[in-house]
Amino acid sequence: MCGITGFVSTKDLSEEDLKMYINKMSSVLSHRGPDDTGSWIDKEQNISLGHKRLSILDLSAAGHQPMISDSNRYIIVFNGEIYNHLMLRKEIDKFSSEIINWSGTSDTETLLKCFDIYGVENSINKLIGMFSIAVYDKKNNDITLIRDRLGEKPLYYGIVAGSFVFGSELKALKQFPNFNNPIDRFALKKYFQYMYIPAPYSIYKGIFKLEPGHILRLNLNDIKNNVDLVDLRKNITEYWNLEEKIKKQSRNEQKNIDDNSITELEGILKNSVDTQMISDVPIGAFLSGGIDSSLITSLMQRNSSKPIQTFTIGFEESSFDESEHAKKVANHLGTDHFELFVTSNQAKELIPKLPLIYDEPFADSSQIPTFFVCASAAQKVKVSLSGDGGDELFGGYNRYLWGPRLWKNFSWMPFICRTFIGKSIGMVSDSSWKKLENSLSYSYRSKSNFSNIGNKAKKLSKALVNSNDINDIYISLISEWCSSEDIVLNVEDSQINQFGDPLFDKNISKDFSLEMMFRDTVSYLPDDILCKVDRAAMANSLETRVPFLDHRVVEYAWNLPIEMKINNNIGKWSLRKILSKYVPLEIIDRPKTGFAVPIGEWLRDPLKEWAEELMSEEKLIKQGYINHNKVRDLWEMHLSRKYDHTPILWSILMFQSWLEAE
């Protein structure tokens, strides 16, 4: 795992400037690669490549980057892991007409040899792994950027002061001289809607995220002759498309609901876990005590001769603390388990650092516990496996269960009636819902679960008020703001749907649950979940691996019928069947809560002063990005305790905090 960056200048630069610029860009990525640093420049072409290395495979100097191929044609900077690189070496050794003299055991060297033999795109299709890659081809004088199929590793690119730049994080691009790209208000609008900025947008105009499964190839002469690069994205191609994979699998080709399918799935997951446990440094696992992390941990432990190290965090607020569930799983499996308990004071100290970690506004509040669990793991190991991806692939989110029911139960109503019911529900205060929740939980504590009634009612209200069709139901369920244009000022109409929207532009199934799972996989998963984990882990110089996102697992999962994912209103049915072989289900069978933190209460007490300062009316008016009247109304309602506007306020505070740090 590493940090990569580089640029192609449209101005003639001295050798000293080329080195100075790339070293400056690389230096801010030291957290991604504290073990080694390297750069490569070509004065004639005005190109520089930079690399920061976190040594995981081949800890010797033989893994140093940038690395040049034996043919001297390709120069690469690479972030990620190629899990099948030893198999690729065997393939090369077997079919090569000459004896290959390998310099070391790094997957980077394997990649370059594949490029020499098969070419870049043919090589990429052979890879099993996570990666963001930049490779300069001397022969064709072009630079190619590549991102892995599911988007585990980040890659930004764009134009800064007329030159082409790229990097693992925005902070590297901002180090390029004369960076002055303005804030993209349309991207900001998207941020307030989803709590993250969806690809291909970034918070800055002229800077983009390369989408998962895509390749961008640019000729250096074209870059130098076209300073504005208006048609930049026309040079992007797609080498892996989940939508196409799904549509090729007709109903007849899908697996049946039987033990054979469960056995096959377990075998594929075992293989993924086994290959991702390959490491030359200590390796562990995140363990929350839920289905996904418990299954990954179980499969790791069965493959280990000694207890694997597992990590979880807890909170001093008992209602948010789930560490006890993780401990039960760890005790059953016999792992070497570590717990870290986080206080509000520790969280308060971290929050000002979040804009520096995430580079652009990001408002998934589970970024806080994610950072701390990564920090805890980094004290003991250099690599940690996670259970991310299980929800999207196997029907784990609550919206997959009650989204279709919502539409079925209310779609027959005239829109005006749905709106009236929705607004009526929305008028009930959060404090009233809380009283109802407490009353029901007390009366029926042995029979049912009534947690988060207010939050569920709020989602129901929004869905009824804002939904004309089933697509609107989905957008409503994943959006915190009913209408984000109410908060962002002066959005340019010309930008609307400039690049389309993966949440609207796809349609793969008549089954609404599957449709939601697909849309989450192509947007929410890479742009929220994987972004959150990557930045939190890399801030602690920790590599994370995600066995569920081996593309072979993903493709197999989409070949399973919906009944093997959601069965009798229970999500992740097939994963539960597998996990039951390793852990008694009563240990992990509980309502899904997510990786929650008590932000709402913290904002009313230990974080109140910090929030007040960031959202002062004078500051908001002076900055001119968001509607100060709307913000103040929401803040006062939240402080009254009658309403809980935690997610919306957190999105405002994360933007304001980022803006101050920017």
What DSSP state is assigned to residue 182? P
Give the Cα separation of 143 and 216 in Å (integer).
8
Contacts of 529 (CB under 8 A, 6+ apart): 364, 388, 389
Q: What angle do CA 627, 628, 631 make, to 5 degrees?
A: 90
Q: Which of 293, 337, 344 is nearest to 316 (CA)?
A: 344
Structure tokens at 631: 């913000």
Give the Cα separation of 515 and 521 in Å (integer).
10
Q: Which of 195, 232, 278 is nearest to 480 (CA)?
A: 195
Give the Cα separation of 204 and 157 in Å (integer).
11
Pairing status of strand 309-315 against strand 336-342: parallel
Sign of the CA dihedral with 427 first, then 429, 430, and 435 last? negative
Catalogue the E-assigned strands of 524-620. Answer: 543-545, 566-567, 570-571
Sign of the CA dihedral with 290 first, then 292, 293, and 297 last? positive
245 by DSSP, 3-state: which?
A: helix
Q: Which residues pair with 37 in a beta bridge?
A: 52
Contact 325, 343 (CB under 8 A): no
Give the Cα separation of 200 and 377 in Å (integer).
31
Q: Which residue blocks in 596-645 are alpha helix, DSSP H?
A: 599-604, 608-614, 617-623, 628-639
Q: Using CB atoms within 10 A of its CB, is residue 221 exposed (0-12), middle (13-18) or buried (19+)?
A: exposed
Q: What angle do CA 135, 136, 138 make, to 5 degrees?
A: 145
Amino acid (1-letter code) at residue 296:
I
What kind and span of H or E run contains 3? strand 2-8
Give the Cα separation of 297 and 310 in Å (integer).
8
Contact 111, 68 (CB under 8 A): no
Give the Cα separation of 606 and 313 in Å (integer).
20
Q: Please state whether the peptide bond connecting residue 369 to the residue before it is cis, i.e. omega within 30 degrees of 0.
A: no
For 504, left (φ over 0), alpha (ψ -120 to 50), or beta?
Answer: alpha
Structure tokens at 227: 């300073």
Structure tokens at 404: 């279709």
Buried b (16+ CB within 10 A) or exposed e, 303-316: eeeeebbbbbbbbe
2 tagged catalytic = yes
Q: Which of 569, 589, 567, 533 is nearest to 289 (CA)?
A: 589
Identify the active-site residue in 2, 114, 374, 531.
Answer: 2
Give the Cα separation of 153 and 485 in Å (integer).
31
Contact 83, 172 (CB under 8 A): no
Catalytic residues: 2
